[in-house]
Amino acid sequence: MVHSKNEADRIKLFNLGIIERNPAEHEFHQAVQEFTGSVMPYVMANAKYDDGHILQRMTEPDRIVIFRVCWEDDKGHIHCNRAWRVQFNNAIGPYKGGLRFHPNVTQSVLKFLAFEQVYKNALTGLPMGGGKGGSDFDPKGKSDREIMRFCQSLMIELSNHIGEDTDIPAGDIGVGGREISYLFGQYKRLKNRFVGTLTGKGLSYGGSLIRTEATGYGVVYFTQHMLNMRNEKLAGKTTLISGAGNVAIFCAEKLTSEGAKVMTLSDSSGFIYDPDGIDHQKLAFLKELKFVKRQRLSEYTQKYSQATYYQGKRPWMIKADLAFPCATQNELELEDAKALVNNGIQLIAEGANMPCSLEAVQYFQEKSILFAPAKAANAGGVAVSGLEQTQNSLRLPWTREEVDSRLQHIMAHIHQQCVEYGAKDDATDYVKGANIAGFVKVADAMLAYGIG
Ligand code: NDP
């Protein structure tokens, strides 16, 4: 986005203040910088937001809870991890956002995730505020019992801060159906209440159909709307995906169903390139490999010999039409963006949260590449979490078709809001559109409450 000198000065000054008040929280600085780049000019043009110092208020979390989680491994050794719950903003509904278990979790990572969650949740049109939590616990290589003991220990403290009308956690990296079940079981035991305080639950105890698939499917629904604006279709497109977790696998599944060819997936050790495409049969093998056996992606090439495994590399050097970074933050940097553009990429949709660095996003925009930011593109997961809460409150499960149709409707609505607020010449700036549409909803609620 091009700024006037006045705007650029205000943005710079504001972001310096953020860095000063939140030292060493680089991921949080990055998320705020991306946001203010599009929102500050809008604030400057609308006195009620500027006079209300709304951006200062919106970049300060309501509260952060930090606590110790001690647990015993299978050999009887005691371990101590740190956990957080960042309750960022509940202006339009109870805090809502996932829990992440990964050794690189820090307060900065969770603050960036919670901050973005506020605006993503606003875009869904559902009454959800934004939060995020997690721990620096590494689930890799742990037994089921160790995972269970960790989750139970974490919930002893977390249960004091969450509730169906207060804060409703869900999954994220390292927290899938197994972990949510252990967490929910412990919550229920501690509170003696069966309420929808966590989402992503198993189907027989309050979970929603399509929740597992929702983020990946939603990314594809959003992409279809972007392509439709250019009279293009997914069928026949070649695609790159990073990650091999919940978001990546179901993004691959929906792309394949729509006739696109998925050529890559990755994990933190490297990526697989299958020039024949990763079809439904191969995806069934991968689901078993990753979700049941919990093995590494490199095993894929043992079964499918036409595929190549690239140890320690990212998939962005492969030539394709569309790219879907679905693993983690900052996994696609400027050099990767240049490689993609050189190879003729047409569209990038962020399945993961903040997978593209600021420089990469700017580069895509300079080159007029269609770019869907995470806040809009991956909002399908939290949207179906919101629908899970609704079903829990109604005590009535909906069919697969009902939930999928609501998900499609929500993704269409998010796309519509991006087009409305992100108009740029005859195209759409989706970053600007998503940021401003989310901002307006939350800011108006905050102003209505008065100063606080
Ligand atoms: P999973 O834990 O299911 O999968 C994560 C995948 O990313 C794994 O393949 C993992 O590989 C890879 N990965 C993790 N860390 C790194 C790293 N540092 N470098 C390279 N690869 C890495 O997580 P999800 O699929 O649920 O989440 C993926 C992304 O999508 C995250 O950014 C998350 O915040 C976002 N997201 C998730 C939603 C959901 O509903 N689950 C909703 C909206 C956004 P390995 O196994 O080797 O660690």
| Position with higher pLDDT, 3 vs 279 | 279
In 15-77, DSSP assigns E strands to 63-72
Per residue in 340-361, pLDDT (tens digit) is 999 999 999 999 999 999 999 9
Residue with tokens 């080159």: 367
Residue 92 beta carbon below 6 angstroms from any ligand 1 atom: no
Instruction: Name the residue of 246, 378, 410 whose CB sits within 8 Å of the most ligand 1 atoms, as the mutation to test its pocket.
Output: 246
If DSSP codes are grouped into helix, strand and coil, which group holds residue 56? Answer: helix
The answer to whether 120 is annotated as binding is yes
Spatial separation of the C-alpha atoms in residues 113 and 120, rounded to whole Å: 10
CATH-assigned architecture of domain 214-372: 3-Layer(aba) Sandwich (3.40)
Residue 388 beta carbon below 6 angstroms from any ligand 1 atom: no
Residue 197 beta carbon below 6 angstroms from any ligand 1 atom: no
For position 121, what pLDDT does the model report? 98
For position 235, what pLDDT does the model report? 98
Q: Is the pLDDT of residue 295 over 90?
A: yes
Kindly indicate the confidence band of residue 425, based on its pLDDT and cuts at 50, 70 and 90.
confident
Residue 200 beta carbon below 6 angstroms from any ligand 1 atom: no
Locate the domains of the chain by residue range: 5-58, 63-195, 214-372
* Angle subtended by helix axes 380-394 and 400-421, to nearest 10: 130
Q: What percent of the chain has pLDDT over 70?
A: 100
132 is catalytic: yes
For position 424, what pLDDT does the model report? 84
The answer to whether 142 is annotated as binding is no
Per residue in 63-120, pLDDT (tens digit) is 999 999 999 999 999 999 999 999 999 999 999 999 999 999 999 999 999 999 999 9
Q: Is the pLDDT of residue 165 over 80?
A: yes
Q: Is the pLDDT of residue 37 over 90?
A: yes
Mean pLDDT of the chain: 97
Q: Is the pLDDT of residue 128 over 80?
A: yes
Kindly indicate the confidence band of residue 1, based on its pLDDT and cuts at 50, 70 and 90.
confident
Taking residues 319-341, what's their average pLDDT?
A: 98
Taking residues 142-147, what's their average pLDDT?
A: 98
For position 452, what pLDDT does the model report? 81
Instruction: Name the residue of 99, 140, 172, 289 whose CB sits within 8 Å of the most ligand 1 atoms, as the mutation to test its pocket.
Output: 172
Q: Is the pLDDT of residue 426 over 90?
A: no
Nearest residue by C-alpha to atom 29 in ligand 1: 352
pTM score of the predicted model: 0.97
- Per DSSP bridges, beta strands 347-349 and 370-372 are parallel
Closest CA to 234 of 268, 258, 199, 262: 258
Residue 325 beta carbon below 6 angstroms from any ligand 1 atom: no
3-state SS, 226-264, equals HHHHCCCCCCCCEEEEECCCHHHHHHHHHHHHCCCEEEE
For position 222, what pLDDT does the model report? 98
Q: Side chain identity at 412, as an amino acid letter?
A: A
Please tell me which residue in 132, 188, 201, 237 is annotated as part of the active site. Answer: 132
Spatial separation of the C-alpha atoms in residues 248 and 237, rounded to whole Å: 17
Per residue in 213-270, pLDDT (tens digit) is 999 999 999 999 999 999 999 999 999 999 999 999 999 999 999 999 999 999 999 9
Residue 267 beta carbon below 6 angstroms from any ligand 1 atom: yes
For position 308, what pLDDT does the model report? 97
Cα of 97 to ligand 1 centre, how many Å?
Answer: 15
If DSSP codes are grouped into helix, strand and coil, which group holds residue 17? Answer: helix
The token duo for 165 is 């009308």
Cβ 376 vs Cβ 225: under 8 Å: no
For position 2, what pLDDT does the model report? 79
Per residue in 167-185, pLDDT (tens digit) is 999 999 999 999 999 999 9
Kindly indicate the confidence band of residue 30, based on its pLDDT and cuts at 50, 70 and 90.
very high
**How open is the CA angle 322-328-332, to the nearest 5 degrees?**
50
Q: How far is CA 207 from the centre of its chain?
A: 19
Q: Does domain 63-195 have CATH number 3.20.20.80?
A: no
Q: Give CA torsion, residues 296, 297, 303, 307, to 10 deg.
A: -150
Cα of 110 to ligand 1 centre, how many Å?
Answer: 14
